[in-house]
């Protein structure tokens, strides 16, 4: 009988995913990105349910995150001549990130890291409180309001235990033992993104953190506008040498689009929340330049 349990869990998860999709009735333009999102959702949901019954403690999660962050520290090395600049940017991320994390439910030791790579157009979080932001993603931002919302999004992946669940999922799939064995997990595990609902949840709560900290939701909407333009270019077929060159440059953000829901849906959700919560829209704060 026990051997049928995993199959039964998969079937139930599949049924629940279909029911949830039908209840949402979200109309999405059939792009390559939306297809990848749907596929990723199915994979995520089939492995999440059993882990609801095995939650690790905050202290174990913090310890795991610290070990993972240390193991990834040498992956993105920078020139020594840029060390002072990179430290200044990281200190700025910590200052802005602290403003969002102060409103999080779990009072974890949130730490914000800078990845000095123009080709890294992404951000990700680790269990226990570590958040990493790439230079390429910062380059797309036009305000500090957008930055605090992005950092809030990643904080919520931690706060809502999405990262811890992901680590437990991988431990289950890879037949790993104690938490200490999870330190060998590749960083791609946390770069892969989460289910659509988890990403939308992180958007909702992350933008709320930014609003509670006195920032304008117009900042993240401005960034979403940039994403929408890039998504449209990504899904168009190149016809000229110039367009082909642009298509190659878009490959640097392909990972971000694969790991997040379609931008139009994310934008609609924020606009709905703005109306419902009557969030203030103070003037956008200038993103600090280094």
| Neighbour tally for 203: CB within 10 Å | 25
Please name every residue paired with 133 in a beta bridge, in sequence order, or none if there are none.
114, 123
The arithmetic mean of pLDDT across residues 207-212, rounded, is 97
In the DSSP assignment, the letter for residue 178 is S
Distances, alpha carbon 145 to alpha carbons 231, 266, 276, in Å: 22, 16, 20
Could you write out the DSSP letters of every residue in 82-115?
Answer: GHHHHHHHHHHHHHHHHHHHTTSSS----EEEEE
Return the SS3 of 268: helix
pLDDT category of residue 242 using cuts at 50, 70 and 90: very low
| Neighbour tally for 217: CB within 10 Å | 22
Cα 102 vs. chain centroid, distance in angstroms? 19
pLDDT at 272 over 80: yes
What digits encode the pLDDT tens for the residues 15-67?
Answer: 444 444 444 443 444 444 444 444 444 444 444 444 454 788 999 999 999 99
Sequence-separated (6 or more) residues with CB below 8 Å from residue 230: 250, 253, 257
The arithmetic mean of pLDDT across residues 85-110, rounded, is 96
% the chain with pLDDT above 90: 56
CB 150 within 8 A of CB 137: yes
CA neighbor of 270 nearest in space, from 231, 195, 215, 233: 215
What digits encode the pLDDT tens for the residues 137-192?
Answer: 999 999 999 999 999 999 999 999 999 999 988 887 877 766 667 777 889 999 98
Give the pLDDT of residue 158. 98
The more confident residue out of 248 and 203 is 203
- Tell me the domain boundaries of the chain: 39-277
pLDDT at 253 over 70: no
Tokens of 278: 């009557």
Return the SS3 of 125: strand
What digits encode the pLDDT tens for the residues 115-147?
Answer: 999 999 999 999 999 999 999 999 999 999 999
Give the pLDDT of residue 49. 43
CA neighbor of 17 nearest in space, from 37, 39, 36, 45: 45
The arithmetic mean of pLDDT across residues 198-222, rounded, is 97
pTM over 0.85: no
CB 24 within 8 A of CB 224: no
- The region of weakest confidence among 36-50, 93-107, 253-267 is 36-50
pLDDT category of residue 261 using cuts at 50, 70 and 90: confident
Share the mean pLDDT of the chain: 80
The arithmetic mean of pLDDT across residues 255-265, rounded, is 80
């Amino acid at each position: 009988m026990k051997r049928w349990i995993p199959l039964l869990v998969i079937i139930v998860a599949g049924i629940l995913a279909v029911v949830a999709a039908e209840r949402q009735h979200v109309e999405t333009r059939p792009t390559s990105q939306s297809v990848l999102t749907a596929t990723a959702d199915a994979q995520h949901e089939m492995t999440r349910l059993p882990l609801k019954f095995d939650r690790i403690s905050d202290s174990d999660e913090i310890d795991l995150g610290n070990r993972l962050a240390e193991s990834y520290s040498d992956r993105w090395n920078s020139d020594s001549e840029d060390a002072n600049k990179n430290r200044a940017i990281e200190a700025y991320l910590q200052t802005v990130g602290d403003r969002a994390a102060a409103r999080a439910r779990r009072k974890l030791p949130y730490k914000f890291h800078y990845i000095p790579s123009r080709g890294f157009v992404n951000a990700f979080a680790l269990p226990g409180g570590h958040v990493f932001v790439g230079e390429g993603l910062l380059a797309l931002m036009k305000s500090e309001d957008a930055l605090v919302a992005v950092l809030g999004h990643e904080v919520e992946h931690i706060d809502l235990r999405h990262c811890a669940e992901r680590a437990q999922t991988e431990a289950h799939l890879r037949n790993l033992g104690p938490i200490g064995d999870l330190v060998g997990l590749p960083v791609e595990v946390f770069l892969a993104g989460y289910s659509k609902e988890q990403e939308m949840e992180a958007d909702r709560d992350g933008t709320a953190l930014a609003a509670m900290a006195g920032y304008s939701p117009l900042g993240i909407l401005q960034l979403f506008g940039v994403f929408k333009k890039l998504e449209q270019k990504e899904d168009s077929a190149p016809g000229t040498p110039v367009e082909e060159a642009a298509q190659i440059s878009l490959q640097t953000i392909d990972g971000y689009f694969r790991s997040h829901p379609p931008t139009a849906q994310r934008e609609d959700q924020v606009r709905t929340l703005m109306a419902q919560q009557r969030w203030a829209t103070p003037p956008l704060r200038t993103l600090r330049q280094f």
